[in-house]
Amino acid sequence: MLDIKFIRENAKQVKEAAKNKNIKVDIDELLKLDEERREARGKIDELRSQRNELAQSAKNGKPSAEQIAKGKDLKEEIGKLEDGGDGIEERFKEILSRVPNLCHPNSPIGKDDSENKEIEIIVKPAEFDFKHKDHVEIGEKLDILDFETAAKVSGSGFYYFKNGLVWLDLALQRYALEKLADRGFIPIATPDLARSFTMDGTGYNPRGNEDQIYEIKGEDIALIATAEITLGGYLANRIIKKEDLPIKYVGFSHCFRKEAGAYGKESRGLYRVHQFNKVEMFIFSTPEQSEDMHREMLAIEKEIYKEIGLPFRVLEICTGDLGAPAYRKYDLEAWMPMKNDWGEITSCSNCTDYQARRLNIKYKNKEGKLEYVHTLNGTAVNSSRIPLAILENFQQADGSVKIPKALQKYMPGNMRVIK
Query: Which are the catalytic amino acids?
Result: 257, 272, 344, 347, 385
Spell out, one character per residue from 367 to 406, where the chain touches RNA: x when CB under 7 A holds, - when not.
-x-x------------------------------------
Among 68-76, 89-97, 292-300, 394-402, the segment contacting RNA (CB under 7 A): 68-76
SS (H, E, C) 5-36: HHHHHCHHHHHHHHHHCCCCCCHHHHHHHHHH
Candidate residues 13, 38, 292, 405; the one interacting with RNA per rule CB under 7 A: 38
**Under rule CB under 7 A, residue 49 binds RNA:** yes
Nearer to RNA by Cβ, of 188 and 221: the residue is 221
Query: With the C-alpha atoms ordered 114, 116, 119, 124, is the resulting torsion angle positive or negative?
Result: negative
Nearer to RNA by Cβ, of 46 and 288: the residue is 46
Task: With CB under 7 A as the rule, give the number of residues binding RNA.
Answer: 31
Starting at the edge strand found earlier in the chain, the sheet holding 312-316 runs 117-123, 312-316, 328-336, 341-350, 374-382, 275-285, 247-256, 186-189
Interface with RNA in residues 202-241 (CB under 7 A): 239
Nearer to RNA by Cβ, of 153 and 239: the residue is 239
Candidate residues 12, 24, 62, 131; the one interacting with RNA per rule CB under 7 A: 62
State the minimum distance, in angstroms, from the CB of residue 137 to RNA.
36
SS (H, E, C) 353-382: CHHHHHHCCEEECCCCCEEECEEEEEEEEE
Cα separation, 161 vs 394, whole angstroms: 18
- Beta partners for residue 322, in sequence order: none
For the beta carbon of residue 74, count every other beta carbon within 10 angstroms: 18
Nearer to RNA by Cβ, of 64 and 149: the residue is 64
The DSSP element (H or E) to which 388 belongs, if any, is helix 385-393
Nearer to RNA by Cβ, of 34 and 134: the residue is 34
Strand 328-336 relative to strand 341-350, pairing:
antiparallel
Which three-class secondary structure state does DSSP give residue 292? helix
Cα separation, 48 vs 45, whole angstroms: 5
**Under rule CB under 7 A, residue 90 binds RNA:** no
Candidate residues 27, 74, 103, 351; the one interacting with RNA per rule CB under 7 A: 74
Name the residues that contact RNA, by CB under 7 A: 3-5, 38, 41-42, 44-46, 48-49, 51-56, 58-60, 62-63, 67-68, 71-72, 74-75, 239, 368, 370
